[in-house]
């Protein structure tokens, strides 16, 4: 109910000139420890699994599959068994990454350091690894390089991309 209250408060601030509020159909589901399909039609398949972002519970990661291409999305989480299950066999893994050398060790208890994301990708071998939700936010090419260096230290030598707003990547 708290999400709905927040949603109502947000839309309650709209000015009269704002467009009509969108209507969204929601199919609730109970996330679990196993990867389970939560939506499927003729073209798309979405699956979910619980991930570790304690103390926030539940936290969920997803795979989105279309035309034989599977993208695993960690959400905001540490590398954990749920993310490993999602990443297994994925063509693309999108994972949050903290610069291990620049954040408090306590943050790494419930968020993923770039090095651990590199180790995950090394063991699951996606064609592309995309780093997102970067902390601290890189401001220079050298800052971005530090994230990539840690991924390499984790063992992944494959194609790695630093996400930017509105990034679009063709996947085949």
Pairwise pLDDT comparison (52 vs 151), residue with the higher score: 151
Give the per-residue pLDDT at 12.
Answer: 67
Give the per-residue pLDDT at 27.
Answer: 82
Contact 66, 45 (CB under 8 A): yes
Peptide bond into 131 cis (omega under 30): no
Give the per-residue pLDDT at 11.
Answer: 58
Please, which pLDDT band fits residue 83 given cuts at 50, 70 and 90? very high
Please, which pLDDT band fits residue 9 given cuts at 50, 70 and 90? low
Distance, first Cα to last Cα, the chain:
40
Contact 98, 135 (CB under 8 A): yes
The pTM for the full model equals 0.84
Please, which pLDDT band fits residue 163 given cuts at 50, 70 and 90? very high
Domain 31-162: top CATH class: alpha beta
Give the per-residue pLDDT at 25.
Answer: 82
Contact 95, 114 (CB under 8 A): no
């Amino acid at each position: 109910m708290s999400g709905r209250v927040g949603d109502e408060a947000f839309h309650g601030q709209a000015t009269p000139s704002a467009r009509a509020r969108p209507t969204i159909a929601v199919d609730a589901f109970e996330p679990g420890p196993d990867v389970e399909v939560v939506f499927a039609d003729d073209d798309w398949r979405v699956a979910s699994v619980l991930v570790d972002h304690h103390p926030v519970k539940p936290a969920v990661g997803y795979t989105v599959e279309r035309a034989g291409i599977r993208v695993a999305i960690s959400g905001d989480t540490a590398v954990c068994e749920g993310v490993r299950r999602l990443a297994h066999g994925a063509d693309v893994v999108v994972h949050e990454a903290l610069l291990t050398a620049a954040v408090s060790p306590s943050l790494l208890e419930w968020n993923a350091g770039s090095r651990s994301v590199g180790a995950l990708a090394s063991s699951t071998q996606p064609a592309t690894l995309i780093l997102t939700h970067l902390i601290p936010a890189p401001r220079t090419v050298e800052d971005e390089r530090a994230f990539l260096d840690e991924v390499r230290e984790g063992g992944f030598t494959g194609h790695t991309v630093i996400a930017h707003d509105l990034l679009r990547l063709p996947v085949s």
